[in-house]
Every structure is written in structure tokens, then in C-alpha cells.
């Protein structure tokens, strides 16, 4: 049994170390949150509430460089935002399928809670869909049983293989966190950055 625990610990540590390579810190001049490198040429995904204010946005990369960031698009309804920095050959995260998540599966959330860089927390999927605490919400979320704290916002939620399945966004209780499913992130980026002739933006999408 001890060998199994050692293997599990090693596997989890390896996943965290891999995911950290694409984890960034975002400062909006008033506070800080997290973000995930989506594309090697500087495209970063985070929460809309992390970039609120829009002035003096800066991104600190995993290699320690701090660069000014440009806000490309934001969607307050889905609490998503896309940023760009002038950099290339950045390490990206593998993208999973949030539709395949099932209750009871293990997930990890990374971010910078209370300024602790690259901190990880683990828990299980509770459910996916509209949270019972938010009956008026039109959005669906991944509901997870883990500790999310201020600074986890905008960071990646990954599955047991280290693949991105969601973007951490909020807590609804001491042991319950919500993440935006990666399928919604794909839709947001397609609408925000794709060809206007192919995709019609949703009303809630605001272009910068």
C-alpha cells in the first residue's frame, strides 16, 4: 500500500510541475489573479473579473519575466477574458474535454492564492451544470469539492492527466468551487478571435 501512495504522490507532483509551466500571474494594478497560456505566441486565458479595471495589466510568466498585457476580449457573462503578451515559444497546457468529466473524478486547481505562487489544491468533481446555489444563472459550471481561495481565479482546473478542463472562477461554500468548462472557453475564443464571417458573437461578448 505504501508503494501505491508513493506512486500517487509522485504522479500528482509531476502533474502539478507540468501544469505550472503554463501558469501565469496577472496584475491589474489593484490585485492579482492567475491565467493559463493557451497559445505559444502569447495568448492567455483568465477570468473577466481578474482583469476588471483594464488598466496597467501585467503578466508574470513562469520564467519570471513580467510583461505588459493587452486585453483582447472579455465576456462578463461567462467570466472569461483573453489577453496577449509580446512573447513566443511559451509552454502551453494540454486541453482536455470537460464534457467527459464525471462526479467523483479527481481534479486539481492551480493558482496564486494569497500570493503563494503556483499553489495546488485537489478534490473531486461534484457535478457539472447549473449550480443549485445560482438558480438564476444561465451559465453552466464544473462544481468541485476543493479549497479555492482568492488568487486561484483564472487559473487552470486540470484532470488526472494534467489536461485543462476548466478555468477556476469562484467559490460558493467552504468546500465548493466553480470552474468555467473548457468547452465554453473554446467557444469564447472562437467568437472573440475567430473570423466574424464564420462566428456571430453572443450579446454578452464585449470586444476591446
3-state secondary structure of 113: helix
**22, 75, 79, 98: which is the annotated catalytic residue?**
79
Query: What DSSP assignment string belongs to 27-84?
Result: E-SS-EEEEEEEETTTEEEE-TGGGTT-SS-EEE-TTS-EEEEEEEEEETTTTEEEEE
Note if 153 is an active site residue.
yes
Q: What are phi and psi of 92, to 5 degrees?
A: -110, 170
C-alpha cell read off for 81: 477574458
72: cell is 483582447
Q: Is 79 annotated in the active site?
A: yes
| Active-site residue, selected from the candidate residues 75, 112, 153, 159 | 153
The β-bridge relationship of strands 176-181 and 23-27 is: unpaired
* Residue 128 known to be catalytic: no
Instruction: Please tell me which residue in 22, 49, 128, 159 is annotated as part of the active site.
Output: 49
Mind telling me the catalytic residues? 49, 79, 153
Amino acid at each position: 500500500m505504501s508503494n501505491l501512495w508513493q506512486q500517487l504522490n509522485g504522479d500528482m507532483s509531476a502533474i502539478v510541475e507540468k501544469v505550472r509551466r503554463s501558469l501565469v500571474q496577472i496584475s491589474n494594478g489593484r490585485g492579482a489573479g492567475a491565467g493559463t497560456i493557451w497559445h505559444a505566441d502569447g495568448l492567455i486565458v483568465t477570468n473577466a473579473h481578474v482583469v476588471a479595471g483594464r488598466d496597467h495589466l501585467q503578466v508574470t510568466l513562469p520564467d519570471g519575466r513580467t510583461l505588459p498585457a493587452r486585453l483582447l476580449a472579455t465576456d462578463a457573462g461567462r467570466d472569461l477574458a483573453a489577453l496577449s503578451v509580446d512573447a513566443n515559444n511559451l509552454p502551453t497546457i494540454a486541453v482536455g474535454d470537460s464534457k467527459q468529466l464525471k462526479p467523483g473524478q479527481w481534479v486539481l486547481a492551480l493558482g496564486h492564492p494569497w500570493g503563494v505562487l503556483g499553489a495546488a489544491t485537489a478534490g473531486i468533481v461534484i457535478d457539472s451544470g447549473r449550480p443549485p446555489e445560482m438558480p438564476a444563472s444561465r451559465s453552466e459550471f464544473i462544481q468541485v469539492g476543493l479549497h479555492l481561495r482568492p488568487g486561484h481565479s483564472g487559473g487552470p482546473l486540470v484532470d488526472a492527466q494534467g489536461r485543462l478542463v476548466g478555468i477556476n472562477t469562484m467559490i460558493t461554500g467552504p468546500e465548493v468551487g466553480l470552474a468555467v468548462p473548457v468547452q465554453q472557453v473554446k467557444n469564447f475564443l472562437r467568437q472573440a478571435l475567430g473570423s466574424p464571417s464564420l462566428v456571430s458573437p453572443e450579446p454578452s461578448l464585449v470586444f476591446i
